[in-house]
Amino acid sequence: MKMTGNTLLITGGSSGIGRGLAEAFHDLGNRVIVTGRQTTLLEAIAAERPGITGLHLDLDDPRSVAALAEQLRDRFPALNVLIANAGISRPEDMRSDSWTARTAEAMVETNILGVLRVTAAVLPIIKAQPHATIMATGSALAFVPRADFPTYCATKAFLHSWLVSLRHQLRDVPVEVLELSLPYVRTGLTGPAQAQDPRAMPLEAYVAEVLAMLCRGDHPQGELLLERDRARRWAERDGTYAEIFSAMNPA
């Protein structure tokens, strides 16, 4: 991936990892567009970073995605990088009589269909540009799940498989297809506790590591994976799946 001189679109870019990446790429001399559902957050980042453009987007609404695509064609025809980062995560207790599929459906809508919708909307623009890249935010939990977040982990497993196929289909276009395989990072993804959890990797440190890997081209098979997460990534291959699953999900 080219590190400067791009026009980037980052979904879910008004907070958390998306905002961290947006600011880092802006500092490197890229034109950055961020999207989100909360107008106040978009206005805040535009005020603090006048060079970053904030656009409203509801990934759960196909009409909103279509409207975004129209804006991009009119205002940002040189768009060459998509970072599909928006996602939600919620715990689920399927033992409870009050559990319904509603929470799971919301995660499937945003984490899976949202990525598919925004990719389909911008791919005709991106694939016509030089140095084109599509990067999506996955998770190391795609490979060994936390059982209290069943649907979230499953959406990331879906995304990993889908990106493998997308990468193969676009191999001759060419569009580079990358997957951010997230560790546990201090963001508000699961609520305020995660943003303060000392066990979680500081956001700034994670963003710096991602940029360093991109600069080195250190993403074998298109995956940006920290060393600490390699054991989970290759647990099936290494015969350590049951051991790691038990450690992550104590009885």
Nearest Cα neighbor of 11 from 122, 173, 132 is 122
For residues 26 and 49, the answer to whether their CB atoms sit within 8 Å is: yes
The torsion angles phi and psi of 38, rounded to 5 degrees, stand at: -95, 110
Residue 57, helix vs strand vs coil: coil
Residue 188 in 3-state DSSP? coil
Beta-bridge mates of residue 26: none
241 counts as catalytic: no
- Cβ atoms of 171 and 201 within 8 Å: the answer is no
Q: For residues 2 and 247, what is the distance between their CA atoms, to the nearest angstrom?
A: 39
Q: How far is CA 193 from the centre of its chain?
A: 21
Say which of 152, 184, 206, 241 is annotated catalytic: 152
Residue 141 CA to residue 118 CA, distance in Å, equals 23
* 216 three-class SS: helix
Q: Give me the half-sphere count of Cα atoms (radius 13 Å) on the Cβ side of residue 172.
A: 1
Angle at the Cα of 143 from the Cα atoms of 189 and 210, rounded to 5 degrees: 55
Q: Are 30 and 133 in contact (CB under 8 A)?
A: no
The catalytic site residues sit at: 152
